[in-house]
Amino acid sequence: MMSTLPFILLSVLINTIAQVLLKLGMDRIGTFQLHWETFWPLVLKVSLNPFILLGMFCYVASVGSWLIVLSRADVSYAYPLVSLGYIFTALVGYFWLGEILSLTRVTGIFVILIGVFLITRS
């Protein structure tokens, strides 16, 4: 199972990049109210935003790498490691996007790390 760990980490990392790109794209679009009269203009804005397009591409790449993982590892081993994405995303949010990491979030990160450690040792 350890040989699949790099593929799992790659998939999670690409998924994290996708999340950050989607966030950057939506930051540029801004908050919106979804109404019928604003629906199609919003769809156009979203579909033409380069950050969102790149984020969607990263999601597709993430799914591709995840399929490699599933072809090589038990899902009961691999899927819990997806929780590393919460950690990666929180750290990118903190260091790159200036988001707040509260004590509760940091505690959650450590709990996830303990769980990931236990899973990779099984």
What are the tens digits of pLDDT across the range 42-81? 889 999 999 999 999 999 999 999 999 999 999 988 999 8
pTM: 0.86
Tell me: the pLDDT tens digits for 6-40? Answer: 999 999 999 999 999 999 999 999 888 888 888 89
Alpha helices in 1-122 (DSSP H): 5-29, 36-48, 50-72, 75-78, 84-95, 103-120
